[in-house]
Structure 1
Amino acid sequence: MKYFPPEYLPGHNSRENRFHCPHCQTFALQRWYNPVKDWIREGVKACRISTCDCCSKDSIWMDGKLIYPQVKLSPPPNPDLPESCRADYEEARSIVTLSPKGSGALLRLCVQKLMMHLGQKGKNINDDISNLVKDGLPVAIQQALDLCRVVGNNAVHPGEIVLDEEPEIVNSMFELINFIVDNRITQPKRISDMYANLPSGARAAIDKRDTK
């Protein structure tokens, strides 16, 4: 299921106002209210509280930002993300709201390390993508990798994309990395496991067919 991070939407107590609760992690309706009515000071949007319809726990928002509980708002890593990449991914999750640029740089490093698990050198992401394309990489995966590469490069070497002003771009990188891992690691592993469970006679017949 797609991850919907907590979002500041006071005054929208409708079915559309749902996200993954920072307490129970359930995708649920959030009900908003102002704990101190008419308490709006200059420079302060307001203090608002959202209450989860599932666990009934409150989350506190100030100036449009979630201040309690302190949580990682980006999706967790795909379980099949290699261990060598996991620490960078988790650190990027922990700082994305404080430093989108720093988070983007860590995710770029994560992708660079991931390339080695996809049979590449992991030294130049652009060259690695080119080699994978020559080997028949699906267009969607190529585009996902290039998106991560370009955004990550802007985090390390500032260019046309100002990540601190567009944090949602960095948030999309987490989903892209999980998409890449699912396609290149999770799905092949799942099919391999299913194939291994075929009767030995059936697998022997397939091997014989393919060696003709």
Structure 2
Amino acid sequence: MKHIAPTFRLTSFHCPHCGVLAEQTWSSHGINCSYIQKQPNGNNVVSTYPLEDTLTAKCKHCNLFSLWHKEKMVYPLTGNVELANPDLPDDIKNDYNEAKDIVNISPRGSAALLRLAIQKLCIHLGEEGKNINEDIASLVKKGLPKTMQQALDSVRVIGNNAVHPGNIDLNDKIEIAYALFGFVNVICEVLISQPKKIQEFYEKNIPEGAKNGIEKRDK
């Protein structure tokens, strides 16, 4: 399923809290800011005023709110990014989630973490992990699809540019940082999730005799 990022006034998107594609109810009712004023007599007086250009979107699945100010989501901060593919190895998933937590504050730091994530993913796929460029080249020689090579190199190059002077300023193009999360998930889906699903089906449903015949055929 395509990830639909939270977008201002969109009637349904993937909830930044529960991750479910759900209908969103928009409202500006009751959004106030409170502050305390200290009086000359020492008493504290609580005052409120309505927040302008501010809306909430309530998820119909989990009933939690996202907060939007001047058409940008300000809470939760990580909501523009899809959840990690559950088949990502735990250490890589931790890097993904850390990148997700900081992307709206530091898109460059987020891109650098995702570069680290795919370097670890190359190790998971059987490469040495010493040089990510060489690891990708090795995977290509082993038959890595071109689209996966492009996805890996996109994360690698943009992640490199995030920590070294380059031609891409992620602070001005945060949507590029958002896209990298989708690339990491697609890479995992094609190189880990799909082979896993096929192998599980094969092991469960193909008779042993047929498996033996296939093994002899392919020797």
User: TM class, shorter-chain normalised?
Assistant: 0.7 to 0.9
Shift of 1:83: 2.1
2:55/2:69 contact within 8 Å kept = yes
Which residue is equivalent to 1:87? 94
Question: Rg larger in 1 or in 2?
Answer: 2
Is residue 188 from structure 1 mapped to residue 188 from structure 2 by the alignment? no
Amino acid at match of 1:60: L
CA distance in 1, matches of 2:178, 2:207: 44
1:141/1:180 contact within 8 Å kept = yes
Which residue is equivalent to 2:8? 8
Please give the root-mean-square deviation of Cα atoms over the aligned residues, in Å. Answer: 2.3
Amino acid at match of 2:19: Q
1:210 equivalent among 187, 195, 218: 218
Of 87-96 and 56-65, the range deviating more from structure 2: 56-65
> After the TM superposition, which segments of 4 or more aligned residues of structure 1 sit over 6 Å from their partners?
none
Amino acid at match of 2:6: P
Task: Classify 1:24/1:107 alpha carbon distance in 2 versus 1 (closer, same or farther; 3 Å).
Answer: closer
Q: Normalised by the size of structure 1, how large is the TM-score? A: 0.83
Task: Classify 1:107/1:45 alpha carbon distance in 2 versus 1 (closer, same or farther; 3 Å).
Answer: farther
Seq. identity, %? 47
Q: Which runs of 5+ in 2 are unaligned?
A: 32-50
Return the structure number with greater strand share: 2
Task: Classify 1:170/1:45 alpha carbon distance in 2 versus 1 (closer, same or farther; 3 Å).
Answer: farther
1:124 equivalent among 112, 131, 144: 131
CA distance in 1, matches of 2:142, 2:16: 41
Which residue is equivalent to 1:145? 152
- The number of aligned residues is 199
Task: Classify 1:203/1:81 alpha carbon distance in 2 versus 1 (closer, same or farther; 3 Å).
Answer: same
Amino acid at match of 1:27: L
2:13 equivalent among 19, 26, 38: 19
Q: Normalised by the size of structure 2, how large is the TM-score? A: 0.80
CA distance in 1, matches of 2:17, 2:89: 27
Q: Which runs of 5+ in 1 are unaligned?
A: 10-15, 38-43
